[in-house]
Amino acid sequence: MPKLGKQTIAQTFKFDCDRFLRFQLSSDTEKKTLGIEEFALGKVRPGVQLMQEAGNKWEIDKYNDLILGFGKDNVKYIEEEKIDPILGVKKFKVIKDLKDILNLENPPKAIIEAEFKILESVSIELKLACDKFDIEPSRAIPDIIWIKPHEKESPLILEEGDLEPEYELHIIDVKMASEASLKHFTEVTFYALALDAFLRDNNLIARYRVSAKGLVWPGSHDINEFKNIVRKFQANNELNPVVKALEETLIPVPYEVYEIHIKRFFKERLIPVLEKSPKDAAWHISAKCQLCQYLTYCQGEAKRDDQLCKIPWLNSSQANLIRSEGILNTSDLRQNILQNTPAWEKIKSVNYQLRADESGIEARCNSLEDGVPYILSERVSHLMPKWSDMSIFLTLHFDPGSGITFAIGAKKVYFKPGRSQGEPPISVEKIFIIDKVEQFSPATERNRLIELINLLESWLNEVNDDNNIIAAQHRANTGRDNAFGKSNVHFFFWSKIEVKQFLRMVERHMDHPDVVAKVEIITRLFPPDNTLPLDLDMYKSQPGTVVKDVVKYLVALPISYDYTLLETANKFFPKSKPDGSLFQFYFAYGFWTPLNDQIPFERAYELWKDNVFLKHSQNLGGLHYTRDEIYEGLRRSVKTYLEALQNIVMRLRDNCKNQLVLHKPPFYLGALVKSHLPQVSKNLLVFNKLNILTQEIENLHQVSLPIDEKEARFVAIRGLINKSLEYSKEIEGFRDNNVSLRNSTIYAFEFSINSRDAKLKEGEFLCCLTNEDFPANIYTFWYTAIGLKFEEALSLLNERNINQADRKVKKTIAEILSVTILKLNTISNPPYVLLEIPNYNLDMFNFAIKERIIDLDKPMVLDSSFKDFESKDIEKILRDISNKAPRNKR
């Protein structure tokens, strides 16, 4: 009889897959008919058991921390008599008499691994499913039930008529995971609902209620962390140091959110899924399927039937919407987009994301069908420069349980100033393997981090010194310095998860005495999440690029589901060998998993535990790897990652050069400008500037989008200037009601119905009007947009009798074509907007018309532009406050 337990429910949420749920609850006959018996058992990757053992050891260690903190007499538990030979500690037995324990006059403060039956009364639908489909709930064994005297206002799982209890019960799920996930939250919430049903069924409801604050005890790189927190509170003379330590350590589960999901699972998902045959249950392959045991089975079906899920980043709800219009596979979708059929038009009208990414989806369909890459030439990216004199490639691989990094790769490629033509760049590569971790102590990781920081600092100092030499030469030759001949620096990561791990590793060690003196250069470039940037100029120039995001936006590849590093390098115009075949990157078996860019963490555990499970291929007799071979396999894999990443960056620069528009100034490691403001004021000032920079970068990205994407993302309005008599009367009527506008230049701008939901509002004066086919960015100088040099532009302005030509020559397109929205009418048909040309800018706007920078008779687009009006004022106010604040007298 199939059993429904917390794992199946949690994994269903994790994979968001009806098929997974239906397969798990299939009968033996159904599994045999489908041919999924081997998948249902779950094929364990060699070495994964080492992480499972480490997880069990972690749980036991936390149990012992709790027992030590509360005292043995205050915790109910049963230890095994003998030490487990694998874990090296005594395991805990399951407690069967939970009801009896809760009936004690003075219950314990905690119960470890208490078992209770999951009652069908958890949900009416669960009972119906059990009766109708011959399934049963499995038994519940929460890691810890924490028993606390009930506090007023503490949230509980209540039903109408429930009275205030004497005690509240908290479910604690102990996980050796550095971050709590959706899976953990759903498990805790399900157990909380099940425990509530158990209390009601056993007449324990008068004394006990289940807290609506379930908790996750997360993993940590420091096994002694909880003990140290307890000692900290003891030193501060806290009344309940263990309780305080738990409150600081445990992660609360947002019960009110996940309760809805769990109840909806029973009410809306369980029975409808069970009513379908296993083959008919909904499914969709995406990156989150990487650990699903049925992935190989589904991939075979997707390939055979050309399923829509093959299209990368198309989610399941979007695929279902497309299918609802009779478009069932990628070939059908390609034709519908190409012909812009009524079905596709309807789909776009319902889902703005599909409308916004229409060109990307079409290109991915084309690439999958034709088997070649496609470049989305209408798009540009502000995430990556078209050139960097020093490129630094970084890759990091880590254990998701402890969060400890086990492999790091760094590579420098430097085109040094003054090199001879054709001379190859200086290339240096360094690989760090964290091969020993004692009880998850991060000491070895810290040592490798220090080595990495020293290496990066030496590379950055090299560029800084070269630029200082060039600056001195400039000053000696001309008396002035400029950017000519100087070098810039840019970092490259493949995925966001690597950037996050890099920041997490820096943050973990940045206060350690051996690191604190070295870490400034890294925190200036990559400030950790809880640290404000120290160097806003570096932040603005975006020191690094997540290359996968650039590939995703500019390129379509013949790759299904998701773009992994290895597949991208092998499909994105790979190099040819002398014999005409294509060069391919590859990893050895055991050092790669599908839909994943991380080296499998079990290889690290094999090093750390000195217990290798991975075997060579059968033609070598199926021999186990040696520890040295695992180490060398990691080193080779990291080297391959670096080479593949560098290759992808080179291919982007070869094929998308004009689409990479991030500007990189010369790199300097100048001393930070010290401020005499109080620390609070400094933080406020940096936070404000950071907010401004973020808005500026976001706006820069928005105005660079293709016009169709701008409109679909509601960041612009597209239309035509209308000079008809009807609008002339509308404008005159508007002038009559607004005396200040009597002499203003006003245009009526009719726009597309699809632009009605644009975020632009009446009164906005930071807007820019350009033609749809305007080739330049609105933040470029106006003269560069029309191919003039500075001196030529200044001469032209003087020739046209433009006042203050020396100042106006330095204006951008956004400034000379700025307009103000006076009236926005989205209800009329067609909708329209009245635009005022500011009097102070009228001469430059008319100049732009005469010089054909803008053509009022052609299709136009109205963008929101950006200008920082507040940073200087806020800084002045903070300095004034600081200067007027009373000084402490000595």
276-314 pLDDT, tens digit each = 999 899 999 998 898 899 999 999 999 999 999 999 999
Residue 559 binned pLDDT confidence (cut-offs 50, 70, 90): very high
> What are 149's strand-pairing partners?
167
Lowest mean pLDDT among 181-190, 450-459, 807-816: 181-190
Instruction: Round to whole Å and give the CA distance between 797 and 812.
Output: 14
- Does residue 423 lie within any of the structural domains? yes
- Does residue 298 lie within any of the structural domains? no
Domain assignment of residue 767, given as a range:
687-871
pLDDT over 60 at 731, yes or no? yes
Burial class (CB in 10 A: 0-12, 13-18, 19+), 643: middle
% of the chain with per-residue pLDDT over 70: 93
Question: Taking Cα atoms as reference points, which of 516, 512, 515, 538 lies closest to residue 527?
Answer: 538
**Residues 722, 598 share a domain:** no
**Residues 699, 645 share a domain:** no
Check residue 857 and give its pLDDT. 92
Q: Are 715 and 695 in contact (CB under 8 A)?
A: no
SS3 state of residue 44: coil
**Residues 843, 712 share a domain:** yes
Check residue 687 and give its pLDDT. 61
Residues in the chain: 890
Instruction: Round to whole Å and give the CA distance between 408 and 447.
Output: 12
pLDDT over 90 at 797, yes or no? yes
Instruction: Give the end of a domain, one of 640, 659, 678.
Output: 659
Spatial neighbors of 799 by CB under 8 A, at least 6 apart, are none
**Residues 648, 786 share a domain:** no
Instruction: Round to whole Å and give the CA distance between 46 and 14.
Output: 23
Instruction: Round to whole Å and give the CA distance between 201 and 182.
Output: 29
Give the residue with greater pLDDT, 503 vs 361: 361
pLDDT over 90 at 679, yes or no? no
Q: Are 591 and 599 in contact (CB under 8 A)?
A: yes
Instruction: Round to whole Å and give the CA distance between 784 and 210.
Output: 68
Lowest mean pLDDT among 326-335, 385-394, 530-539: 530-539
pLDDT over 90 at 51, yes or no? no
pLDDT over 70 at 882, yes or no? no
- What backbone torsions phi and psi does residue 778 show, to the nearest 5 degrees? -70, -10
**Residues 719, 655 share a domain:** no
Instruction: Give the end of a domain, one of 278, 313, 343.
Output: 278
**Residues 636, 756 share a domain:** no
**Residues 125, 267 share a domain:** yes
- Rg (Cα) of the chain, in Å, rounded? 32
What are the structure tokens assigned to 40, written together?
């249902």
Check residue 478 and give its pLDDT. 86
Residue 538 binned pLDDT confidence (cut-offs 50, 70, 90): low
**Residues 158, 251 share a domain:** yes
% of the chain with per-residue pLDDT over 90: 56
53-100 pLDDT, tens digit each = 888 998 999 999 999 999 999 999 999 999 999 888 999 999 999 999
- Does residue 328 lie within any of the structural domains? no
Question: Taking Cα atoms as reference points, which of 596, 588, 586 lies closest to residue 625?
Answer: 588
- Does residue 449 lie within any of the structural domains? yes
Instruction: Round to whole Å and give the CA distance between 35 and 647.
Output: 41
Instruction: Give the end of a domain, one of 278, 296, 329.
Output: 278
DSSP code at position 73: G
**Residues 640, 742 share a domain:** no
Check residue 683 and give its pLDDT. 61
Lowest mean pLDDT among 182-196, 519-533, 816-830: 519-533
Token pair 């590093």: residue:
565
Instruction: Round to whole Å and give the CA distance between 850 and 768.
Output: 17
pLDDT over 80 at 128, yes or no? yes
**Residues 625, 701 share a domain:** no
- Does residue 322 lie within any of the structural domains? no
Give the residue with greater pLDDT, 189 vs 530: 189
- Does residue 383 lie within any of the structural domains? no
Give 129-136's long-range contacts (Cβ < 8 A, gap of 24+). 129/4, 129/266, 129/270, 129/271, 129/274, 132/271, 132/274, 133/25, 133/274, 134/1, 134/2, 134/27, 135/1, 135/2, 135/3, 135/4, 135/25, 135/274, 136/1, 136/2, 136/3, 136/4
Give the residue with greater pLDDT, 877 vs 297: 297
pTM of the model: 0.86
The predicted model gives 235-247 an average pLDDT of: 92
Q: Are 813 and 785 in contact (CB under 8 A)?
A: yes
Lowest mean pLDDT among 208-222, 526-540, 591-605, 755-769: 526-540
Residue 889 binned pLDDT confidence (cut-offs 50, 70, 90): very low
- Does residue 251 lie within any of the structural domains? yes
29-50 pLDDT, tens digit each = 988 888 887 776 666 788 888 8
For 6, 45, 588, 776, the CA distances from 615, given in Å and listed in that order, are 33, 11, 11, 57
Instruction: Round to whole Å and give the CA distance between 345 and 336.
Output: 9
**Residues 120, 263 share a domain:** yes
Check residue 47 and give its pLDDT. 85
- Does residue 714 lie within any of the structural domains? yes
Opening angle at CA 86, ends 57 and 610, nearest 5:
95
pLDDT over 70 at 26, yes or no? yes
pLDDT over 50 at 874, yes or no? yes
pLDDT over 50 at 890, yes or no? no
Q: How many domains does the chain have?
A: 3
SS3 state of residue 330: helix
- Choose the most confident range, by mean pLDDT, from 89-93, 435-439, 442-446: 89-93
Question: Taking Cα atoms as reference points, which of 649, 698, 387 lies closest to residue 492?
Answer: 649
**Residues 649, 509 share a domain:** yes
Instruction: Round to whole Å and give the CA distance between 685 and 792.
Output: 40
Average pLDDT, the chain: 88
Opening angle at CA 459, ends 458 and 464, nearest 5:
95
462-493 pLDDT, tens digit each = 999 999 999 999 999 888 888 889 999 999 99
